[in-house]
Structure 1
Amino acid sequence: MRSSGSATQLVMPILSAGRHRTPKQGACFMEFASYLAGEKWSDHPACTHPVLAALARDVNDLASDATRSSFTRLIPRVVGLTSDDLHFTAAIAVHAASAGLPIASMDRQRALAVGMICASDSDGSAELRAIAAAAFATAPDAEKWARKHLGSSPPRMLSVRTAIAIVHTAAVGIALACVPDADERLGQLLSGAIDVAEQLTSPLAEPAVVEYRLAHS
């Protein structure tokens, strides 16, 4: 699919924020993904994991028009990029939280810290805990508050709904942060999450839209 990326972009409508009833009105990131997957026009297509799709919608809506247009090249990569593995859900959530934690406002830092602890503890992965630890090094007060807030409660199973809340908080935290490169960080957040998702689903690392359509027709 990447080899035909330039041809695909020729027929893509201009990416814009929000939902669109038809392609003639424009498209958000996930609406165009639904089109590429041969699904019904929707910003919640089945072809992409719901947490990754939620992040893509948030980044699409929060980025500036100029930056949003650069996301077009990423759209084919999310087609067929999904998994039922809890580690997939946790990894996307921790990736997003670690990106937002250093620069988000205090309230969002605390929410992200709680979310990252829950996600990494629920998954039990040493890799995710290391990512969380590196992020907490940039905001130790947020970690201290979160651990006190959580107390000695046993970790709960991370739900998709909770993971979506984490990635939303991270994206908004970056967009509203007092930094000069918020747009660039949003783009890096999305592309990085896609990289993580591809690594976790290596057979789908090169999602083929044509094969996906055949398999789901």
Structure 2
Amino acid sequence: MKTLKSRRSTATLQPDIMPVLSAGRHRSPRSGACFMEFASFLAGERWSDHPSCTHAGLAHMARAVNDLTSNEGRSALAPLIPSVIGLTTDDPRLDLIIAVTAASAAIPIASIDRQHALAVGALVCQDALERAGGSAPIDVDGPLREALDAAPEAEAWARRFLDRNVRWRRAEISARQTHVTIAMSVDGVRSACAPFPDERLYALLESTIALSAEFVAREQEQAGTAEAAASSPAAPFTASAPPVSEPTARAQGDFSRHV
């Protein structure tokens, strides 16, 4: 039987047993795996809950959903793991888009105290997205407007707060601050006075993965168009998942054999 040390010397980590999804961080596959640790394993990366194969904002949400989902419901998240592999971008707008859309999902159902904080976070991220320049490839204004219409008191409170604290609205927003809004949104969805919290968390993560895939696909399409502009007309964009890389295809194949 191979030791864990010898297995680490291979290109892909292949433990004797598949890790089991559980909350928190884990030292090795033998002690379990959170959502992103499992993704690092499938991608052939070093064991980590912060693998490079997934955008940081999406990974932050995946960890939060994993930890707040019940032990009974967590296994349902497993089929989503391969779909986060390869969803990466250096565009800082994706963090903001994930934060605003997550807050938009949480605001209508969150408790009133969480609604206040979520409305502030969403409006700050929306403003930062507008200041980032260019048209956002994903519409966040419509869903946020609907969410705030469902919680008018929270919107009024948030706007009064921001009027008194202009620096909150105009300051540069770091990825860490954006991730706070994402974490609050996941917590707001989980703790809402509504049935089926595990199903709500699953839907939030699933929709965020789809949003991230569309963002990355648009970015790749635009990059390809720029390269081909001098020699051929650009092909029309169709909203679809980004091309499957060799590591992603390998991970999906490995995962399907074990689940």
TM-score by length of structure 2 reads 0.73
Contact 2:57 2:94 in 1 (8 A): no
1:207 shift after superposition: 4.0
Structure 2 distance, partners of 1:191, 1:206, is: 18
1:211 shift after superposition: 6.3
Which is greater in Rg?
A: 2
TM-score by length of structure 1 reads 0.86
Count residues with an aligned counterpart.
203
Structure 2 distance, partners of 1:33, 1:206, is: 18
- Calculate percent identity across the aligned residue pairs: 46
Answer yes or no: is 1:118 the counterpart of 2:154: no
More helix by share: 1
Structure 2 distance, partners of 1:190, 1:211, is: 19
Counterpart of 2:22? 16
Q: After superposition, what is the alpha-carbon deviation per residue over 1:92-145, rounded to whole angstroms, capped at 9, x for unaligned? A: 101110111111122211111011101111112492222211110111111110
Answer yes or no: is 1:128 the counterpart of 2:128: no
Contact 1:98 1:135 in 2 (8 A): yes
The change in CA–CA distance for 1:123 and 1:103 in structure 2 (over 3 A counts) is same
Q: After superposition, what is the alpha-carbon deviation per residue over 1:4-47, rounded to whole angstroms, capped at 9, x for unaligned? A: xxxxxxx7422111111111111110001111222111111121
1:69 shift after superposition: 0.6
Structure 2 distance, partners of 1:64, 1:133, is: 31
Answer yes or no: is 1:165 the counterpart of 2:180: yes
Counterpart of 2:19 in 1: which secondary structure? coil
1:86 shift after superposition: 2.4
Written as runs of structure 1 = structure 2, the 5 A alignment for 1:1-217 is 12-124=18-130, 125=136, 127-151=139-163, 153=166, 154-202=169-217, 203=220, 205-208=242-245, 210=247
Larger deviation: 113-122 or 203-212?
203-212
CA-atom RMSD in angstroms: 2.0
Contact 1:77 1:207 in 2 (8 A): no
Structure 2 distance, partners of 1:14, 1:117, is: 38
- Letter of the aligned partner of 1:188 in structure 2? A
The change in CA–CA distance for 1:15 and 1:117 in structure 2 (over 3 A counts) is same
Contact 1:59 1:190 in 2 (8 A): yes
**Which stretches in structure 1 are left out of the alignment for 5+ residues?**
1-10
**Which stretches in structure 2 are left out of the alignment for 5+ residues?**
1-16, 131-135, 221-240, 251-259
The change in CA–CA distance for 1:206 and 1:183 in structure 2 (over 3 A counts) is farther
